[in-house]
Amino acid sequence: MQPFIVIRNYRDDDELKCQEVVRDYIMSFVNKSFYCFCFREVTLQFIIITWAILFIFVGVPLHFCAMAIPGCIFFLFTFTYFSFYSKAVELMKIKPSQSLVAECYEPFIFRLKPREASYQIFLDESPYEQAHKNKFRKKIVATLCVKKHISLYNAAWLYRFAVAPGYPFHRVAEPMLNLVCKTCVNNGCTSLECTISEWQEDERDFYDNMGFATRQIYQKQIIGSSLTVMKTLLTYDLRAKDTSSQPEQKANNLETANNSKQ
């Protein structure tokens, strides 16, 4: 039996599952971010300062001061972990207004990894009967929310966009984002805005392929100016999408008119 994914509107009973997806997605970047922080200059400075404090002010022998290295590394990992966890909790607490979820149906005995499997994707609901659906286990593997931008006129803000680790991000996210873009165009929005962090490399390639343009690159401070994270503000021109869909819409209207005359 081939697994499939249904992209549908968010329901209130999906909240707990969506929170788990958001948490797992955010926490999946902990290791990558930790390795990145380990090779930054601020980490070396922190180790040297700790070593100097132990030797000069505490009186620890010099060879024992080498214990500052694993101690600083452990502190860095703990700080990174709880920073991502607090960010995940912050996103989990945000109540979505307009949201989509991707619900995955997989056989109960499924030995393939999600990235190795081929999924059929349906919008709103699947064409299968309920008896066939009962042969699958279902779980939410992606969530996406959109709301009006608080500072830009006729703009939408993309947030709480998460895909469960292990699942193909591009395969799941593309139809969800296309559906959101159509909804924003129907609501009169002219642009779609979002931000990504420096460790979201795969997501950056996805947004570039979808047609997003870089609007601003800035440094978000974590501890003053010593520890910062590079953020990228992306924008998508919905007017271009609306213009490209107008010829197809006109052709459909013309075909409907011709059929009615016949």
In the chain, where are the structural domains located? 4-261
What confidence score (pLDDT) does residue 35 get?
87
Q: Is 154 left (phi over 0), alpha (psi -120 to 50) or beta?
A: left
1: confidence class by pLDDT, cuts 50, 70, 90: confident
Residue 229 parent element (H or E): strand 227-237
Section 112-139 average pLDDT: 87
Asked if residue 192 lies in contact with residue 170, where contact means CB atoms within 8 angstroms, the answer is: no
Residue 227: its pLDDT value, please?
Answer: 67
Query: What dihedral do alpha carbons 130, 131, 137, 141 form, nearest 10°?
Result: -30
SS3 at position 144: strand
Q: pTM score, two decimals?
A: 0.81
Average pLDDT of the chain, as a whole number:
83
Given a cut of 80, is residue 84 above it in pLDDT? Answer: yes
- Which sign, positive or negative, has the C-alpha torsion 241, 160, 106, 204? positive
Question: What is the band of 236 on the pLDDT scale with cuts at 50, 70, 90?
Answer: very high
Whether 145 contacts 12, CB under 8 Å: no
Are the C-beta atoms of residues 47 and 69 closer than 8 Å to each other?
yes
Q: pLDDT tens-digit profile of 12-66?
A: 888 899 999 999 999 999 998 888 888 887 788 888 888 788 888 778 787 777 7
For residue 208, how far is the Cα from the chain centroid? 14
Q: Is the pLDDT of residue 243 over 70?
A: no
pLDDT tens digits, one per residue of 128-142: 888 888 889 999 999
Q: What is the mean pLDDT of residues 240-262?
A: 46
Domain 4-261's class?
alpha beta
Q: What is the pLDDT of residue 105?
A: 92
